[in-house]
């Protein structure tokens, strides 16, 4: 689908956790894009735009028509994008440029891959979630799919129930949540994503990895994965600050 | 001939290809995974490509007057990245 300007309507805004909001934008047409892509939203009259990964799945061929996108807005920085989405009300119009980015699952590579490893920190989970859902629920990918997601505190978490449901529905999917500042009673992984990844027992030569999050994390994980034996060409990343 | 002078900050560019998607006759992502200017095209498309860049890596000037067309102000260039 060629990049074009779309006018959408804010359908709802939902507070996922803390400063993180999910915003659903509805359009007058079904949307065709690739899971993992993002949109650029016009957030000021001066033409300033901010980029947001799409958290929802695109329209698919089996009749499941979708005319909306979900985006996730972290208002912590309180920049022009944060203020725009805080001030924009349900039913108001927004101008969206879509669909952008190459951070998507390359279908040809799937044939040569045993394991898809998805690694995120913070809101880096946003493009990874639909990529994983698309692989498991739409593409019926049978190889191993592993998600490692790092966050700071338990109160920051969202979507964990939905992701846990995937682990129940798909035997080939596993999920590791890691907290860097957990409460004493946190039963899960503690530390950083690298602490979990280094202990994974997988055939590293057959891994294709998708990394999304802070540049420091992405660079560190690239180094770790290459040291483990992952081919550099099989490491795909999206960095954002 | 375009009056625009386009500068790409390679340190900021993450090679996402959004500029290429918006204005493919002007921008492309090279073998090093960085955006570069390789041709000419519609000025409006070039400015739009700069506006959609998620890391504000593209600066556009009027080559005759030196006026910075995008970003509009220094404040708009990075700083408050509240996206993605």
More confident residue, A66 or A12: A12
SS3 B8: strand
What percent of chain A lies above the pLDDT cut of 90? 83
HSE-up of A202 (CA within 13 Å, CB side)? 26
**A88-135 confidence digits (pLDDT tens):** 999 999 999 989 988 999 888 888 889 999 999 999 999 999 999 999
H/E element, B47? helix B43-52
Smallest CA–CA distance from A212 into chain B, residue:
B84
Distances (CA, A) of A240 to A21, A40, A135, A145: 18, 14, 24, 23
pLDDT of amino acid B77: 35
Which chain B residues are closer than 8 Å to A73 by Cβ? Answer: 82-83
pLDDT of amino acid A60: 73
Q: Is residue A48 less than 8 Å (CB to CB) from chain B?
A: yes
Smallest CA–CA distance from B84 into chain A, residue:
A52
Whole-angstrom distance, CA of residue A189 vs CA of residue A208: 23
The dihedrals phi and psi of A223, each to the nearest 5 degrees, come to -60, -45
pLDDT of amino acid A46: 86
- Please name the residue ranges forming H helices in chain A: 80-87, 107-110, 125-133, 160-169, 193-197, 215-228
Q: Is residue A158 less than 8 Å (CB to CB) from chain B?
A: no
Q: Is residue A75 less than 8 Å (CB to CB) from chain B?
A: yes
Statement: residue A198 has pLDDT above 70: yes
Beta bridge partners of B35: B29
Kindly report the average pLDDT of chain B as a whole number: 84
Read off the pLDDT of each residue in A161-189 and give the average, rounded to a whole number: 97
Distances (CA, A) of A239 to A9, A123, A125, A220: 29, 11, 12, 12
User: Quick one: pLDDT band at residue A1, thresholds 50, 70, 90?
Assistant: low
Read off the pLDDT of each residue in A190-212 and give the average, rounded to a whole number: 96
Read off the pLDDT of each residue in A18-47 and give the average, rounded to a whole number: 94
Q: Is residue A126 less than 8 Å (CB to CB) from chain B?
A: yes
Pick among A6, A23, A48, A53 to test the B interface (most B CBs inside 10 A): A48
User: Quick one: pLDDT band at residue A63, thresholds 50, 70, 90?
Assistant: low
pLDDT of amino acid B84: 52
**A139-174 confidence digits (pLDDT tens):** 999 999 999 999 999 999 999 999 999 999 999 999
Nearest to A49 among B21, B52, B80 (CB): B52
Domains of chain B: 4-72 (3.30.70.20)
Contact A48 B55 (CB under 8 A): no
pLDDT of amino acid B71: 87
pLDDT under 50: residue ranges of chain B? 74-83
Contact B84 A49 (CB under 8 A): no
pLDDT of amino acid B79: 35
CB atoms within 10 A of CB A241: 14
pLDDT of amino acid A59: 81
Kindly report the average pLDDT of chain A as a whole number: 93
Alpha-carbon torsion (A43, A49, A52, A56), positive or negative? positive
């Amino acid at each position: 689908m060629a990049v074009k300007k779309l006018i959408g309507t804010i359908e709802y805004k939902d507070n996922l956790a803390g400063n993180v909001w999910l915003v659903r934008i509805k359009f007058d047409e079904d949307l065709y894009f690739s899971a993992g892509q993002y949109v650029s939203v016009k957030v000021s009259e001066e033409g300033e735009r901010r980029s947001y990964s799409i958290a929802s799945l695109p329209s698919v061929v089996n009749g499941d028509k979708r005319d909306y996108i979900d985006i996730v807005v972290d208002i912590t920085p309180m920049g022009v994008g944060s203020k725009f989405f805080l001030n924009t009300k349900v039913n108001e119009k927004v101008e969206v440029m879509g669909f952008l980015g190459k951070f998507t699952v390359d279908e040809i590579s799937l044939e040569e891959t045993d394991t898809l490893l998805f690694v995120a920190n913070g809101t880096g989970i946003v493009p990874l979630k639909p990529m994983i859902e698309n692989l498991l629920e739409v593409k019926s990918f049978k190889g191993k799919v592993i998600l490692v997601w790092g966050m700071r505190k338990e109160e920051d978490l969202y979507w964990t129930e939905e992701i846990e449901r995937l682990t129940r529905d798909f035997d080939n999917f596993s999920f590791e949540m890691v907290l860097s500042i957990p409460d004493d009673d946190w039963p899960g992984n503690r530390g950083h994503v690298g602490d979990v990844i280094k202990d994974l027992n997988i055939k590293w030569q057959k891994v294709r990895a998708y990394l999304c999050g802070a540049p420091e994390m992405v660079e560190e994980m690239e180094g770790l994965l290459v040291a483990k034996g992952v081919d550099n060409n099989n490491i795909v990343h999206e960095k954002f600050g | 001939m375009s009056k625009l002078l386009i500068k790409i900050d390679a340190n900021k560019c993450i090679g996402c290809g959004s500029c290429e998607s918006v204005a493919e006759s002007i921008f492309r992502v090279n073998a090093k995974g960085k955006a570069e200017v390789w041709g000419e095209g519609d000025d409006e498309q070039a400015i739009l490509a700069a506006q959609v860049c998620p890391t504000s890596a593209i600066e556009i000037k009027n080559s005759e007057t030196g006026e910075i067309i995008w970003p509009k102000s220094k404040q708009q260039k990075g700083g408050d990245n509240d996206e993605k």
